[in-house]
Amino acid sequence: MANEIKRSVCPYDCPDACGLLVEVADSRAVRVSGDPEHAFTRSTLCPKMNHYERTVHSPRRLTQPLLRTGAKGSGEFRPIAWAEALHRIAERWRGIIEADGAEAILPYSYAGTMGLIQRNAGDPFFHRLGASRLDRTICSPAKGAGWKAVMGDTPAPHPDDVADSDLVILWGIDAVSTNIHFLRGVRRARRSGAPVWLIETHETPTANVVDRTFLVRPGNDGALALGLMHLLVRDGLTDREFLAQHVQGFERLRDEVLPRFPPDRVSRLTGLSVATLEEMARAYGLARAPFIRVGSGLSRYANGAMTVRAIACLPAAVGAYGKQGGGCLTSVSTTGLFAMDEVLRPDFMARPTRIINMNRLGWALDALDTPRVRSLYVYSSNPAVVAPDQNAVLRGLGRDDLFTVVHERFLTDTARYADIVLPATSSLEHADIYRAYGSYCIQRAAAVVPPVGTSKSNWEVFGLLADAMGFDEPFFRQTADELIDLLLERSRPGWEAVGLDPRSLADGRAVEVRLSAEARGAYRTPSGKIEILNPREPHPLPDFIPPYGGDQPFRLMTAPARYGLNSSFRERDDLRRKEERPLLQMNPADARAKGLADGDPAVAFNHLGEVAFSLRVTSGVPQGVVVVEGVWWLDQCLGARSVNALTSQRLTDQGGGSTFYDNTVDVRPAAPAGRRAEATS
């Protein structure tokens, strides 16, 4: 019997939501490839998703519930049945609710899966329970806030529009590692003669595919944007007609803010020479349709929203928003096409409960007492290594009085601290529907292989927990497919206008939202114009907010990895071998000053903690900057902690986002083994 080929979707937190073709034999996925019929990803997969079957059928997969038998963090468990696990959870939660109220229970989740059902499956359950709510802001809400301040709900350009640009700027995005399908349009523009620039804090893999790389001092991208606009005004390169017709408040920006950003000051802030700034401004101002693709990293500073806001103003200054191939792309949103309240069910809340920011989990577990968090339920996330201020998080997870349940595919660092571990399905084992945030594609996916062992999806587990807690709402007894059908039925009005074909969607094919000519030319803001002046903002005009200063000599860049995604894919030995080990990248002059050489063991440290690395000396990192790529599981690290022991729980200026890129460290040679033992004894 021939193997079957079934369609699915990459579930991970990546802009592209790649279409997959899964070859299935004997109820196992034996090969995963890209779907050539997908409108955006068109058969190409990143190195992480090639051989996804090795993740799905990994020997490390959890296959049955586990009950802790050893100390928290030890990873010592014994198997138990699902019925016992559910009974124990429900009994503990009833006791906590009776003693401290339901807000003493905190769910913690993020984007281990990006499906609309499985990612959000906990919301209705925890709303009904009356638990605390989680502010899920660990990624890039500041980027969204900055864009919205200027552009409101204006749709992003189609990512393939970049092919029509005559100047492409990749600003703070390592597209080779995080957005490879966007590069297809970039390459087309380049073949047509468009220069491609990269603006970054260090040379990423994307530096190898562009024409020019401009290295900016971390956290000063907003000053660069304002400085470029100063030069556009000075040299008469703004589009006065576009500004008069479509932009609100440019004159005030020109008169009140831009005079404070002359080239000499911007040069000091950014590290770029005055001549380079003038060259950049002139090229941008003379381009017919310049296109800026903005990454997320530059929004993970204390000034993240303001930085994105300033960058979003640049295309307005030269009229690029009104030209095919021009403009700015931060993220694509199709959320408005879905009646998400059918999934989230905010009506299940008897009253609004407290909201806890996920970036402050360490504080919430250590210090919050109104009431104290007595139980943590973790799914689709691994906060022991991905949350900031790792030492505070691990102290909290180690509390004897904290009842922790982790629903996971693997025995992650967080799972090792659990009282009960529940085995989770992979995306090939459950149904869901996905929307990309780097394209306008939407795709439904059915389960293509049976669950591994007794693993269950997020949706299934919350239904079982609802039953164990005595919830009688029929909502919790639906299957995932029934909920998807309901979501699509309630969302369907208006789909015809954007070209969505329900039959193709039901068939499991990717469908693409069509942007009409009217939508492309409309600015969905309260004024109907691009709002450089936004009177509803705390700062009505864009400005520059300095990043966090810090008291250590090196800016720490926690960059994405090519072969990992946050802490995902660390179960794959084949991918880990390509990255060797956790590396700290440092400029040669800085390494010499610290008495370090390439390959030496080194320790990065600040007031939050210290982390051991192997040193990589490279001229691709400027002086005063050190770079760590990816997030590693602790048993794969060179010491007891990973990079987030060095990152702060501080939040961004808007959106409550993480400030992973806004931290400073010092570096020293690692002590010899004997001296380390003496120091810790």
Domain ranges of the chain: 66-139+340-491, 141-330+518-531, 554-680
Six-digit token pair at 638? 């060179």
| CATH number of the domain located at residue range(s) 554-680 in this protein | 2.40.40.20
* AA letter at 678: E
Considering only residues 623 and 517, tell me which one the structure prediction assigns the higher pLDDT.
623
CA distances, 446 to each of 8, 9, 431 (Å): 7, 9, 4
Mean pLDDT of 354-358: 98
pLDDT computed for residue 397 by the predictor:
98
Write the CATH number of the domain with boundaries 141-330+518-531.
3.40.228.10
**Identity (one letter) of the amino acid at 271?**
G
Give the model's confidence band at 672: pLDDT under 50 very low, under 70 low, under 90 confident, else very high: low
Kind and range of the H or E run holding 225: helix 221-234
- What confidence score (pLDDT) does residue 679 get? 37
Judged against a pLDDT cut of 80, whether residue 391 lies above it is answered with yes
| Mean pLDDT across 641-647 | 98
Q: What is the pLDDT of residue 677?
A: 35
Q: Which pLDDT tens digit goes with each residue over 469-478?
A: 999 999 999 9
Beta bridge partners of 659: none
Give tens-digit pLDDT for 42-79: 999 999 999 999 999 999 999 999 999 999 999 999 99
How much of the chain exceeds pLDDT 70, in percent? Answer: 98
One DSSP character per residue, 120-154 reads TTHHHHHHHHTPPEEE--SS-HHHHHHHHHHHTTP
Amino acid in position 79: P
Cα angle vertex 280, ends 214, 233, to 5°? 140
The tokens for 580 are: 């060797």
- Average pLDDT score over the chain: 95
Residue 1: partners with Cβ closer than 8 Å, 6 or more residues away: none
Residues 6+ apart with CB under 8 A from 9: 17, 18, 19, 20, 115, 427, 432, 434, 443, 445, 510
For residues 575-595, give the mean pLDDT: 94
Residue 681: the pLDDT is 30
Residue 676 reports pLDDT greater than 60: no
CA dihedral 476, 481, 487, 491 (to 10 degrees): -170
pLDDT band (50, 70, 90) for residue 579: confident
Burial class (CB in 10 A: 0-12, 13-18, 19+), 361: buried
What's the rounded mean pLDDT across residues 583-610?
A: 98
Q: Is residue 514 very low, low, confident or very high in pLDDT (cuts 50, 70, 90)?
A: confident
Sign of the torsion formed by the C-alpha atoms of 187, 42, 174 and 659: positive
CB burial string 537-554: b at 16+ within 10 A, e below:
beebbbbbbebbebebeb
Q: Locate tokens 């025995």: which residue?
A: 411
> Side by side, which strands form the sheet with 403-408?
77-79, 66-68, 420-423, 403-408, 375-379, 105-109
Structure tokens at 533: 């002046």
Residues 6+ away with beta carbon under 8 Å from 520:
155, 157
DSSP 445: E
pLDDT at 501 over 90: no
Worst-scoring range by mean pLDDT, 10-14, 355-359, 477-481, 491-495?
491-495
pTM of the full structure: 0.96
Q: Is 214:276 a contact under the CB 8 Å cutoff?
A: yes
C-alpha to C-alpha distance for 124 and 347, rounded to whole angstroms: 9
| pLDDT class of 493 with cuts at 50, 70, 90 | confident
Identify the CATH assignment for 66-139+340-491 out of 3.40.50.970, 3.40.50.740, 2.60.40.10, 3.40.50.150: 3.40.50.740
Asked if pLDDT for residue 680 goes beyond 70, the answer is no
Strand duo 610-617 + 432-435: pairing: unpaired
435 φ, ψ (degrees, to nearest 5): -125, 135
d(CA 526, CA 523) in angstroms, rounded, equals: 9
What is the reported pLDDT for 518? 67
Beta partners for 19? 9
Q: Which residue has the tokens 């799914």?
A: 379
Evaluate whether 138 touches 387 at the Cβ level (below 8 Å). yes
171 and 295 Cβ atoms separated by less than 8 Å? yes
